[in-house]
Amino acid sequence: MNTKPDFSKHANQASTAPAFLSVWDMHSYYGESYIVQGVSFNVHEGEILALLGRNGAGKTSTLRSIARLGDPEVKHGEIWLDHKPLHKMASHEAAASGLGLVPEDRRIIPGLTVEENLQLAQIAPPVGWSLERLYELFPRLGERRKQEGVTLSGGEQQMLAIARALARDLKVLLLDEPYEGLAPVIVDEIEKTLMHIKQQGMTTIIVEQNAVRALELADRAVILDTGSIVFDGTATEVLENEELRAEYLAI
Using CB under 6 A as the binding rule, whether residue 152 contacts ligand ADP is answered as no
Residue 200's binding partner among Mg ion, ligand ADP, none (Cβ under 5 to 8 angstroms by kind) is none
Comparing CA positions, the residue from 71, 85, 102 lying closest to residue 208 is: 102
Q: Is 35 one of the binding residues for ligand ADP (CB under 6 A)?
A: yes
The binding track of 50-69 with respect to Mg ion, each residue x by CB under 5 A or -, is ---------xx---------
Q: Identify which of residues 115 and 177 has a Cβ nearer to ligand ADP in the complex.
A: 177
CB of 93 to ligand ADP, least distance (A): 22
- The 59-78 site mask, x for binding ligand ADP (CB under 6 A), equals xxx-----------------
- CA 200, CA 224: separation in Å to the nearest integer? 28
Q: Which helix (H) or strand (E) holds 29?
A: strand 21-30
d(C-alpha 145, C-alpha 9), whole Å? 49
Based on the shown chain and the rule CB under 6 A, indicate whether residue 56 belongs to the binding site for ligand ADP.
yes
Largest Cα separation within the chain, whole Å, is 62
35 vs 187 by CB, closer to ligand ADP: 35
- Our CB check for ligand ADP shows the closer of 57 and 173 to be 57
Contacts of 19 (CB under 8 A, 6+ apart): 42, 43, 44, 80
Q: Which residues contact 218 (CB under 8 A, 6 or more apart)?
A: 48, 49, 50, 206, 235
Omega of the bond prior to 72 within 30 degrees of 0, cis? yes
> Which lies closer to ligand ADP via its Cβ, residue 54 or residue 145?
54
> Is 250 one of the binding residues for ligand ADP (CB under 6 A)?
no
Least distance to Mg ion, CB of residue 208, Å: 10
Verify binding: residue 164, ligand ADP, rule CB under 6 A. Answer: no
Q: Please state the closest distance from residue 204 (CB atom) to Mg ion, in A.
A: 17
Burial of 139 (0-12, 13-18, 19+ CB in 10 A): exposed
Cβ neighbours, 10 Å, residue 200: 11
Interface contacts to Mg ion, rule CB under 5 A = 59-60
Binding residues (CB under 6 A) for ligand ADP: these are 30, 33, 35, 53, 55-61
